[in-house]
């Protein structure tokens, strides 16, 4: 099993993460960054690039971009919280992320706003291949726009903001200033690599 292209789970298991001062932490954090960039950020970037010369009305990869970003959102939050398996916890992870992350919280001021996004966009796209009623995925405008009863998400802006959130999470880890966050990172990475 690979953590990321060219990085096997045994590469991670060889690292010494018992001491916060050990340089192996930087290697482990780099593995995570590569994993999430390769699997989520780059594919979404490529989809967006493929449509960059099209008018907004002609773009069609919005669901795929938003699906990747929703998976990434849940993954980042589960790393923050040290949740090894997010099964049955997705809704809570989404609410936490949308209401607490700097680049999103101004758009999800109430729990109801976050729950609606979770149900109508995340669950709709990932489980039914469609968004909920009175919703649209678009490529222009503000991150979240409410218009005539519709909730519209700008998938380009959503993607850019999720990229910033990943960068900020990786930067916090690299400072090693929050040992609780490092412990949570290790719990999730150990689970990924099946370390008992």
Work out the percent of the chain whose per-residue pLDDT is above 90. 93
Q: 1-34 in b/e burial notation, b at 16+ Cβ within 10 A?
A: eebbeebebebbeebebeeeeeeebebbbebbbe
What is the tally of structural domains in the chain?
A: 1
Distance CA 32, CA 125 (A): 25
Q: Which range marks the domain in which residue 55 is found? A: 2-192
Distance CA 94, CA 75 (A): 10
89 vs 51, 81, 84, 113, 115, CA distance in Å? 34, 11, 11, 18, 13
Per-residue pLDDT tens for 110-148? Answer: 999 999 999 999 999 999 999 988 999 999 999 999 988
Per-residue pLDDT tens for 66-98? Answer: 999 999 999 999 999 999 989 999 999 999 999
What pLDDT score was predicted for residue 196? 44
């Amino acid at each position: 099993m690979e953590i990321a292209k060219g990085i096997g789970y045994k590469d991670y298991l060889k690292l010494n993460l018992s001491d916060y001062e050990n340089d192996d932490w930087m290697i482990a954090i780099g593995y995570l960054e590569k994993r999430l960039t390769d699997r989520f950020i780059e594919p979404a970037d490529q989809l967006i690039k493929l449509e960059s010369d099209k008018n907004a009305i002609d773009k069609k990869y919005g669901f795929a971009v938003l699906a990747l970003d929703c998976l990434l959102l849940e993954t980042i939050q589960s790393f923050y919280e040290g949740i090894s398996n997010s099964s049955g916890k997705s809704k809570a992870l989404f609410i936490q992320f949308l209401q607490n992350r700097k680049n999103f919280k101004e758009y999800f001021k109430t729990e109801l706003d976050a729950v609606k996004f979770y149900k109508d966009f995340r669950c709709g796209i990932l489980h039914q291949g469609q968004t909920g009623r009175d919703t649209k995925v678009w490529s222009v405008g503000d991150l979240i726009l409410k218009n005539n009863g519709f909730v519209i998400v700008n998938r380009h802006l959503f993607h850019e903001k999720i990229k910033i959130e990943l960068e900020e999470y990786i930067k916090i880890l690299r400072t090693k200033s929050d040992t609780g966050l490092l412990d949570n990172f290790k719990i999730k990475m150990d689970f990924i690599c099946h370390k008992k």
